């Protein structure tokens, strides 16, 4: 569970509500597994933050935490999560290449599609450096080359087209388009409000950065 508030006072009120609910239902929140993070603004950041307490004990302040597999950072940048996915892709690709080296190309392609094209939570990436993004793209291309036994500097677009596998940019476009479509079609009033805003940074990112730049 995640609590979000624009102020320390508001966050404390939310925590008190959770404490009362837990007491009424015979539950106890684990303070050791609970963390607190302050999101940094573009131009200012509080020098001191009053202690946030749960069950009378102060919570540990962190700069990043993993929520449902996605790394959230205090500066709202996605570089850490892109790097997490790059490392995970490397592990999966090496495992497939090692265990299925003597399989047919059709089997290898099927395994690659199943294990190396998911890019979990990639549709949420909107604030990252091009260097980190390119590192993931290169890892993806090299993983396919290694699995298929292709030359290191062969054409990435050509090898993916021949194997009928989505290239890196195609996967990113599909992920963003899918999320944007689901947000716009959602019955949730908050999501609809976000989707209907013409100045929504994320929707603009999906529509312009991933689509227009790579068409």
Q: What is the pLDDT of residues 122-138, one digit of tens each?
A: 888 888 899 999 999 99
Task: Tell me the pLDDT band of 209, cut-offs 50, 70 and 90.
Answer: low
Q: Which two tokens stand for residue 135?
A: 């590192």
Q: Are residues 194 and 111 in the same domain?
A: yes
Q: Are residues 90 and 131 in the same domain?
A: yes
| CA–CA gap between residue 209 and residue 130 (Å, rounded) | 12
| Structure token pair of residue 117 | 């094209």
Query: SS3 for 115?
Result: helix
Would 137 be classed as within a structural domain? Answer: yes
For residue 212, the model assigns a pLDDT of 44
Q: Which of 40-44, 104-108, 188-192 has the highest mean pLDDT?
A: 104-108
* 3-state secondary structure at position 32: helix
State how far the Cα of 171 lies from the Cα of 66, in Å rounded to an integer: 23
Domain of 173, in residue numbers: 79-212
Q: Tell me: do 56 and 84 sit in the same domain.
A: no
Give the pTM: 0.83
Distances in whole angstroms, Cα of residue 89 to Cα of each of 79, 98, 155, 199, 205: 15, 14, 20, 33, 24
Judge if 21 and 83 occupy the same domain: no
81 pLDDT band, cuts 50/70/90, is: very high
Give the span between the Cα atoms of 74 and 57, in whole angstroms. 22
pLDDT value for 215: 42
Q: d(Cα 110, Cα 145) in Å, to the nearest integer?
A: 14
Only one residue has tokens 């450096």, namely 129
Query: Which pLDDT score is estimated for 183?
Result: 82
Task: Name the residue with tokens 């094209």.
Answer: 117
109 & 145 share domain? yes
């Amino acid at each position: 569970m995640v609590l979000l508030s624009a102020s320390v006072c508001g966050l404390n009120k939310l925590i008190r509500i959770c404490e009362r609910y837990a007491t009424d239902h015979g539950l106890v929140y684990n303070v050791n597994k609970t963390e607190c993070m302050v999101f940094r603004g573009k131009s200012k950041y509080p020098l001191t933050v009053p202690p946030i307490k749960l069950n009378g004990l102060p919570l540990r302040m962190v700069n990043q935490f993993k929520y449902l597999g996605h790394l959230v950072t205090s500066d709202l940048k996605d570089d850490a999560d892109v790097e997490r996915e790059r490392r995970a892709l490397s592990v999966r690709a090496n495992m497939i290449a090692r265990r299925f080296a003597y399989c047919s190309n059709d089997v290898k392609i099927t395994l690659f599609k199943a294990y190396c094209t998911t890019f979990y939570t990639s549709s949420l990436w909107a604030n990252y450096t091009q260097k980190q993004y390119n590192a993931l793209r290169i890892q993806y291309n090299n993983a396919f080359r290694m699995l298929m036994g292709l030359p290191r500097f062969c054409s990435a677009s050509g090898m993916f087209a021949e194997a009928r596998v989505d290239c890196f940019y195609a996967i990113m476009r599909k992920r963003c388009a899918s999320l944007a479509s689901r947000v716009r079609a959602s019955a949730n009033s908050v999501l609809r409000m976000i989707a209907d805003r013409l100045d929504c940074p994320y929707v603009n990112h999906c529509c312009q950065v991933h689509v227009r730049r790579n068409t």
